[in-house]
Amino acid sequence: MIDPLSKLLHAGAGQHGPVMLMYHSVVPGAGRPAWPWAVSMQAFREQLDFLAAEGYATPTMGELVAAPGLTGPGRTAVITFDDGYIDNLAACDELQRRGMRATWFMVTGSLGKEPAWPADGRPGGRLLNAAELRKMQAAGMEIGSHTVSHARLTEVDDDRLRVELVDSKIALENALGTAVGSFAYPYGDWDERCETFVKNAGYAAACTTGTGWTFYEQTPYRLRRLTVFNTDTASSLARKLAFGSHDVSWPALAGYWKRQLVARFRS
């Protein structure tokens, strides 16, 4: 259920071009998950229903980058998942029921196993395995790379950086039988060196965790995404889509409107 003001604010969404949404875990039930980067299944369903009702096209990231104008002048939201937790299978089912697609960024060193990188309150259990990824791909989903070990790429040397990028790409291509062209920087941690290595490794595009409109940077190697948090409802998602921002709480928006009025008065 969308509150009237959020729905009104969303009426202008889409005029800045495509947006990308970043999910991680989708937890069964309706309660708010403890991990900030998880959403409940009920919230996820409501968010998907809102996107569908508002006419959003949901291509994969690879499709959008290959043909930015493919979806025409309408609204476009690329749905992405980082890490690839096992609970994402149920999320994939919800997408399929609505004729939607998404892109999954996988950490290849932990496929089918418990994540090997340091825990921060994330859900327990394993990541998706190769057979599950092949099934998802057959259903129209895109599988991309999130490195071998979920390393902070700006903190590793050139040799390790190359391995994280190249080996993960090769592992996925061998598992899927198709080329892998999409990448997501773990933790959103990147710099120009990382960007160059991603390009040299053969990826066509990479996304960050920076907020804003997808093509704000005007390069396919710095695509921006809007994070969906455990506190997000369909109404707050509507406001995020309208403003291209993470902070769309009512106090934050009140401050934004105040600054706009002051600037207009001064001009």
- pLDDT value at position 45? 98
- pLDDT value at position 32? 97
DSSP structure string for 195-224: HHHHHHTT-SEEE-S--S-TTTTSSTTSB-
Query: Above 60 in pLDDT, residue 134?
Result: yes
* Residue located via tokens 């998602």: 237
Residues near 72 by Cβ (< 8 Å), separated by ≥ 6?
Answer: none
The mean pLDDT of 72-89, rounded to a whole number, is 93
Mean pLDDT over each residue of the chain, to the nearest integer: 95
Radius of gyration of the chain (CA): 18
- pLDDT value at position 72? 60
- pLDDT value at position 70? 60
Cα within 13 Å of Cα(142), Cβ side: 28
Longest dimension (CA), the chain: 61
Residue 242: pLDDT band (50, 70, 90) is very high
Query: Above 60 in pLDDT, residue 102?
Result: yes
Residue 258: pLDDT band (50, 70, 90) is confident
**What are the structural domains, with CATH classification, of the chain?**
4-266 (3.20.20.370)
CA distances from residue 163 to 28, 150, 179, 191, 223 in whole angstroms, order as listed: 35, 12, 17, 17, 22
Encoded tokens for 248? 């769309």
- Lowest pLDDT segment from 34-38, 182-186, 250-254: 250-254
Cα 177–Cα 178–Cα 180 angle in degrees, nearest 5: 130
204-220 residue pLDDT tens = 999 999 999 999 999 99
Whole-model pTM: value is 0.96
Cα 129–Cα 132–Cα 138 angle in degrees, nearest 5: 140
Of 88, 1, 103, the closest CA to residue 39 belongs to 88
17-49 residue pLDDT tens = 999 999 999 999 999 999 999 999 999 999 999
